[in-house]
Amino acid sequence: MAIFFSANAFGQRIHSDSQVILDNQKNPDIIEINQLWKDYLASSPDSLYNNPHWNKTEKEKFSSYDLLRSEGGLRLYSLAKDFSAVKNLVLSVKPIDDRHYDIHSMYYWMNPNDCPYILCTTHVLAFRDKSGKFVLGNWLPYYSRNWKTVNEGVITFHYQEYDRNNKKIKKVKEFLTFLDREFNVKIDHLDIFISNGFSQTQRLKGFGYDASETGVSDKDDLGATTDIYNNIIYSNSAMGEYYQHEMMRLIIPKYRNAHPLLLNGLAEYYSDTAVMRGVSFQEHFRRLDKFLGEHPDINLKEFDNFDSGNLTESNYLIGMVIIKLIDDRCGHQKILEALKTVHTDDDLRNLIDKELKISCDNIDSVLRALIKDYASNGFRGRQWR
């Protein structure tokens, strides 16, 4: 059962326009649904409360009932809240079967040169509830309605094309035990959706397009995300049931205020394969080492506060280096303490200075030297089993 909170006075109200024909519209449902959507976006969609515009079944099933709020990749409503200029434009409202309508809309802001920056396009359902009133619903249950579902204890696997892997299912169960034992994180339910690829995962979540596609790599179909509010992992057929990086994300609710570099570093530190997005750790470190060599002005005392485009995965790699430093010099217990106490860059610098005995003036040279070492010799984290 979901827990609801009161609508926050500071919740985000997103302005919505529509290019759908509303005047002299022959289908009155479209007019009603367009208004429903406009009202919903004006009702603080980033806030968790008993929103009357959303369907009751999903409000009872999901902790964060609008899955676009919590899907784990774009974090749409968080972006909309941070950038108050974000607007919504309804592109179409059309029936897709005898019960459901698809609301296809675009989130964007206007750049100073009057060119729109498009965050994403989304699909949300509208249908009549038992009272006959139109309500909103997620795209996920509709898109996956014909998928194969398999229950394994607290885990439910959803397959776009069924190809069960018992070894990976076993590893998922073992990793949940590891999270409970080492991080005191007990998962009471977990849904894993296994699509044919990341592009299909995006469709599953309700995205038609999102801005991350502008930086895709040749390994993009290995991408996945985790909804930490609802314990949903969006995996793909290449990774299958067991996607260790995403499973590690399940610790975030317990350590929500931890410094992002610690959480990102842990996501890969316990890797079975020393591969991220189809590329070896060593190759990732080579790219980062090369980039840093070309930019001597960057001071890693500021950690990952630099823009390397899509040339490197600096937010993960620098996090991995720091996690390994903590583990090697102080042990696992210090990692747990850091997750609870290290929130800001200053906190992290203080930990490195006081606990790791690396002065702030030396952080840049130490991190650069380690990155160069891992570029030459490869990186190995800790085995979790």
pLDDT of residue 289: 98
- Amino acid symbol at 295: H
pLDDT of residue 359: 97
Query: What would the pLDDT profile of 101-114 be if each residue is shown by its tens digit?
Result: 999 999 999 998 88
Whole-angstrom CA distances from 3 to 6, 10, 319 are 10, 19, 33
pLDDT of residue 362: 98
pLDDT of residue 220: 55
Number of C-beta neighbours around residue 318 at 10 A = 21
Three-class SS of 52-74: CCECHHHHHHCCCCCHHHHCCCC
Angle at 115 between CA 109 and CA 121, to 5 degrees: 50
Cα–Cα dist 295/293, whole Å? 5
Query: What would the pLDDT profile of 182-198 be if each residue is shown by its tens digit?
Result: 999 999 999 999 999 88
Cα–Cα dist 158/160, whole Å? 7
pLDDT of residue 309: 87
**Mean pLDDT along residues 87-105:** 97
Q: What is the mean pLDDT of the chain?
A: 93
Largest Cα separation within the chain, whole Å, is: 73
- Identify the three-state secondary structure at position 329: helix
Q: Which residue has the tokens 């018992």?
A: 166
- Residue 377, judged by CB atoms within 10 A of its CB (0-12, 13-18, 19+), counts as exposed
Higher pLDDT, 79 or 338: 338
Query: What would the pLDDT profile of 251-286 be if each residue is shown by its tens digit?
Result: 999 999 999 999 999 999 999 999 998 899 999 999
pLDDT at 52 over 90: yes
pLDDT of residue 215: 63
pTM of the model: 0.93
**Mean pLDDT along residues 47-59:** 96
Cα–Cα dist 201/207, whole Å? 9
